[in-house]
Structure 1
């Protein structure tokens, strides 16, 4: 049995018989496991009890920078404008609409606004995640889905907006997606299998309880997803694994018909279709990697009801070795490309009949993406732009000419001067000579001297950690703590090749890149090992666990959130959610060579008798992506093996999932806990 935590002693997990002595922690809902997790929570609370006042100060400090009562930008669609409003004291924004002004301004008429959904009332103080929020094409109904535990299983609802009548649809094990056909009566939704994978698509006609299975994807590597095309004329059913995709399409005006395959799957061919207009002709646009790993864009004019098979695809934007085509946005008058070049996002606009151009921006390192392409007929798109020291802006881009207008900037209440902080792009050199980008922000007054540093990393699935602004992070910066992001291989910052160089047999590059970034920041005089805290979540928690085993002396403190640290055992269990779909990312350890490869870096497997930095680990009991026991087993093994007296704390959110607590104030309190831990270990006052 485990011991009870006290202020002076940590809970010690007992060793069971078998190859994995902590496997007993996987007995979900057993009293023994729950008692152990609660004992760890009690120990964590006792060890940080002296910080209660600081955590409250941090919470109030961060909250004071945020405009608690605010109105989102209204999005015009048909006869209405749709928007959200946050109110002081509420955890979630409320959803509204009002009649669209005749002058097409964005002015909200509060006297005519209509409350569509209030998640605060639905949450009733508990966990709540809003999945779908989809208005029907005739604007008469709202389809929405709710997860009330954090396990990412959703209930489905339809609200009649005229009467306010809400119906819960009698379907279970849903992934939360809800897609309307153009009749505003037919809904498509997906069902999860026993491994939490969307594998079946169903068609439901309102007014009855009947449901029709439209598609079943038996291959455990593939996820199923249905969406409306940009033109609103087509429905797309996308089936994709980490390396291969297949799309089926259906005329949105005829939802009773079967979907038709656009191009049968071929291993390692990824393609993603959308539907719009080119020179006035209804056209399919297909982003595909058939000509190269960085993707090219193809087009195929619509020809009646005939599906444009792969033989009819014609190149529109050629593959480029140095530019990644990450996505496209379609409007009636323009094609907008989301590119990645030199480690940064680039927006390139191709207005029909006019020269193409790139959006110009003021910062050297930033985050930029198309936030909203608005209505298909719109002359504008909205861009979201931010940097480490510049709050997020929503910019209206006039597609024809490139004119930009800042519609809204996220306010920072109280004293704030963006120029008091310096954002930099640095480059570390990895062991194999590869240059690895680092984004860094610090107070201008701290330039040229070593300071405490919070270094963040992820490095998986081709995800790009573009620099983002954070109200909470100002509480680090104002206390002289710099913040950096290590853009390691396995992410997508430098294109598809960068991703592939940090997965499967190359996964070790993710860890050595992060270590190289830490060493560069130390050698450049930005920080020192005694002042360096590192952090990562999920697959980023795997990164943190691996580098702590390899180079623990480099770091003073570490935070691992919902960490994927028991990689080998998880990937050996195909019954767990996501395991089979993850083979393309990590490999299948049923293969002996893959087994040895994963075993060589898996954090849980490689815990050893050495000194480790202070460590705070956060898990979600209802997490279906990274099971709570990964963190619990890892901490238990670290307690038994580490040779130091540094803090080792485990906090398990017993009412939350992969994303932590759901409300905005609950989220701020989680940040305050983590920052307080960093300040305690680094001696920041």
Structure 2
């Protein structure tokens, strides 16, 4: 099929070429591979030849995409047109104040603000005032638009108000590398303190004394979270005391406060193990270990009502692990698993994902049959489930800041239903709609969502969520846009996606393939898509495509695919293994040079990823990873059209992975379909900052995909 938007006689610009420089990449056991483009790696991002190549690729992308600029602009206008530009979040109450974020028309960044609680002040009244533009009584915490002025990239990662409501600490990043700087403000006077703390993660916790702040320091080279420190306001950061240091690079680290605010916690976790330390927030001295780490035992915990409630996969008395997790309890001074007592038993068909504790009930976020649900546990031992209205949907716990309430807040959405926040009175059953995401010009009645099951080649049934504009013939002629992730046990749930409406209105079917490697179907689903079973992830994706085509949802020559980060690895592997099934692919910040990256322990996310991908210093893992690594398996074959995106300052998937991959594809691709490689020279893993800038990027690759699928401009 000829792309619809490119003139038939338009001369194609020539893609850039880049020098080959042979380089051997060796493994400890003696294996060696040649990497001609290894030289494109520059940790300092200053090599002139490397930067010239990235700029040449950007210039080529500009030239190749120029004929599609009208379509890109139209898509951008549609996408932005569905955004209520002066929208605000649902306020939540904490410590006598109502907190929310709001946007102003035409501006990229939020204003974080709060209002004092009082008679007649609640979530609905504040939303109504914000909608009127009535900000009387509002206290602005952070106007991120003003803070981002003149910066190519800016992000506030976290902010925390002190327990006495007087001081604000926040973490900001103006590079995109996720190395944050902490700053402080007096909320009574507005004065910003001169002291700063650099090189940290965006994770902040105040102690009860309203002057001591706990934070997590990153390693300056690997960016791994390595130390918890405490800073006393008014003292030099160089004097900050070390509270805890994690010496095992396979563990991530974070800090928090328990539900009852009694304890400050330090949580460390790897792919297969976790450990929590706690100390009294009123006097945070020595941190006690709730239960020592043990391989293949994971847990997270919260405290309320004089006890710990712990979500864990630890074996029970029968010695069998709780693969899908269970809930146990422990006394406040617990320091070992011997003190744990089962509360909510393990169920092989129900995966426990999260929980929230209240003084009169508990809420448990679960997965059953691949769908989310919320179970309510009451003091009398009875339980019930929060109702859902559609066959494919997403439901989860929302902001529930205060435990002394009968109202549970939860979020609900589907591929056709915009994000909705409800609160449910657990005692009476009354449900209140707090907010549904406004989507100007969108008519829910025009769209249908489905859930189908596709047989993978090994007989396993894969759930797929679909959305399309009503009237779809299902006669095998429609274009299909299929998305998936499939790693780290991260589930891709069917939530509303405003930009996708531009695809639906052009007759495109949108599908989310809930493939193995995610956790949609429970822990086993994850285990069957990692390490030496990673190939299942790729097979599932291809089999879903073929199954949807067989069912008449799409034409075999009109299928596009998309994935980012580890989902970009998915795209790269599928492009190598089943190129004929896809007309076009989008791979954003793709993890494509698996073996080389996993052999390099200086790169962030390497050693703590061994339990996800395997350790290539061991030959069985090396050989298996080499069998699917996208960069290593580029072959002389006809590839789909590819749109590849990255950020120069990405600290998670470094820019040189997609750069090398594209260079090798240009060498070996025997087909004529275009390969576009777009590098954002100011951004990191998440792309450009600001709510509108990223839609420019999305409109560009949507235009690329629609053109390849032969979809006309007008809906």
1:333 to 357, 360, 366: 360
Distance 2:139 2:105 in 1: 20
Give me the whole-angstrom Cα distance separating, in 2, the residues matched to 1:235 and 1:548.
Answer: 47
CA drift at 1:390: 0.6
Partner of 1:626: 653
Give yes or no for contact 2:183–2:196 (8 Å, CA) kept in 1.
no
2:453–2:462: 8 Å Cα contact kept in structure 1? yes
Cα pair 2:649 2:684 within 8 Å, conserved: yes
1:471 positional shift: 1.4
2:119 counterpart of 1:102: yes
Q: CA RMSD in A?
A: 1.3
Query: What is the deviation of 1:78?
Result: 2.3
| Per-residue Cα deviation, 1:446-475 (whole angstroms, up to 9, x for no partner) | 142331110001100000100010111110
Work out whether 1:388 is the aligned partner of 2:439.
no
| Corresponding residue for residue 642 of structure 1 | 669
The corresponding residue for 1:285 is 309
Structure 2 runs not aligned, ≥5 long? 1-10, 24-33, 130-134, 316-321
Q: 2:140 aligns with which of 102, 109, 115?
A: 115
1:98-139 per-residue CA deviation (whole Å, 9 max, x = no partner) reads 121324532236321111110111111421111111111111
Matched, 1:244 2:273: yes
Q: Counterparts of 1:445-456 in structure 2 under 5 Å?
A: 445-449=471-475, 450-456=477-483
Secondary structure of the structure 2 residue equivalent to 1:634: helix
Aligned to 1:3: none
Aligned to 1:65: 82
CA shift for structure 1 position 168:
5.0
Q: Determine if contact 2:289/2:335 at 8 Å carries over to the other structure.
A: no
Distance 1:21 1:448 in 2: 46
- Aligned ranges 1:266-281 → 2 under 5 Å: 266-277=294-305
Cross-structure match for 2:571: 544
2:197 alignment counterpart? 171
Which SS does the other structure have where 2:435 is aligned?
strand
Task: Report deviation, 1:634.
Answer: 0.3
CA distance in 2, matches of 1:170, 1:130: 15
How many Å separate the matches in 2 of 1:588 and 1:264? 24
Alignment of 1:65-214 (within 5 A): 65-103=82-120, 105-106=122-123, 107-108=125-126, 110-125=135-150, 126-167=152-193, 169-193=195-219, 194-209=221-236, 210-214=239-243
Pick one of 255, 263, 271 that aligns with 2:291.
Answer: 263
Using CA pairs below 8 Å that are at least 6 residues apart, which structure has the higher relative contact order?
Answer: 2
1:285 deviates by 0.6
What's 2:325 paired with? 295
**Counterpart for residue 235 of structure 1:** 264
Cα deviation code 1:403-447 (max 9, x no counterpart): 321110001112x22121110111111111100111111111114
Shift of 1:77: 1.6
Post-superposition CA distance 1:507-563 (Å, at most 9, x none) = 000000001100001111111231100000000000010011011000000000000
Pairing 1:437–2:463 present: yes
CA contact (8 A) 1:94 1:117 kept: yes
Deviation at 1:376, TM superposition (A): 2.0
TM-score, structure 1 length as denominator? 0.96
TM-score (norm 2): 0.92
Distance 2:365 2:473 in 1: 34
Structure 1 counterpart SS, 2:525: helix
| 2:616 paired with 1:589 | yes
Structure 1 position 667 matched with structure 2 position 694: yes
> CA–CA distance in 2 between the matches of 1:117 and 1:357?
40
CA shift for structure 1 position 63: 1.1
1:223 correspondence with 2:252: yes
Q: Which residue of 1 aligns with 2:26?
A: none
Tell me, yes or no, if structure 1 residue 26 matches structure 2 residue 33.
Answer: no
* Correspondent of 2:499 among 454, 472, 476: 472
Q: Does the 8 Å CA contact 2:349/2:368 hold for their aligned counterparts?
A: yes
Picking from 538, 541, 563, the partner of 1:514 is: 541
* Conservation of the 8 A alpha-carbon contact between 2:474 and 2:554: no
Is this contact kept in 2: 1:330–1:373, CA < 8 A? no
Supply the distance in 2 between the matched residues of 1:225 and 1:402 (Cα, whole angstroms): 36
Question: How many angstroms does 1:354 deviate by?
Answer: 6.0
Q: Secondary structure at the match of 2:193?
A: strand
Superposition deviation, residue 145 in structure 1: 0.5
2:60 alignment counterpart: 43
C-alpha contact (below 8 Å) 1:334/1:400 kept by paired residues = no
* Distance change (3 Å), C-alpha of 1:447 and 1:184: farther
2:375 and 2:673 map into 1 onto residues whose CA distance is 50
Partners in 1 of 2:519 and 2:486 — Cα distance? 8
For the residues of structure 2 that align with 1:152 and 1:403, how far apart are their CA atoms?
A: 42
CA distance in structure 2 between the aligned counterparts of 1:176 and 1:374, rounded to whole angstroms: 19
Partner of 1:422: 448
Q: CA contact under 8 A between 1:7 and 1:43: conserved in structure 2?
A: no
Are 1:527 and 2:554 matched, yes or no?
A: yes
What SS does the aligned partner of 2:544 have? Answer: helix
> Would the alpha carbon gap of residues 59 and 197 (structure 1) be closer, same or farther in structure 2, given more than 3 Å must change?
same
Q: Compared with structure 1, are the counterparts of its residues 335 and 168 closer, same or farther at alpha carbon in structure 2 (3 Å cutoff)?
A: farther
Distance of 1:113 and 1:472 partners within structure 2: 32
* CA-CA distance at 1:378 after TM superposition: 2.4
Structure 1 segments (4+ residues) deviating >4 Å? none
Quick check: 1:155–1:169 contact (8 Å CA) kept in 2?
A: no
* Kept after mapping to 1: 8 A contact 2:448/2:470: yes
Q: Give the distance between the partners of 2:427 and 2:222, measured in 1 at CA.
A: 47
Q: What secondary structure does 2:661 align onto? A: helix
Residue 181 of structure 1 contacts residue 253 of structure 1 at CA under 8 Å; is this kept in 2? yes
Task: Provide the rounded CA distance (Å) in 2 between the counterparts of 1:665 and 1:7.
Answer: 30
Mapping of residues 309-324 of structure 1, within 5 Å: 309-324=336-351
Contact preservation (8 Å) 2:183, 2:197: no
SS in 1 for 2:595: helix
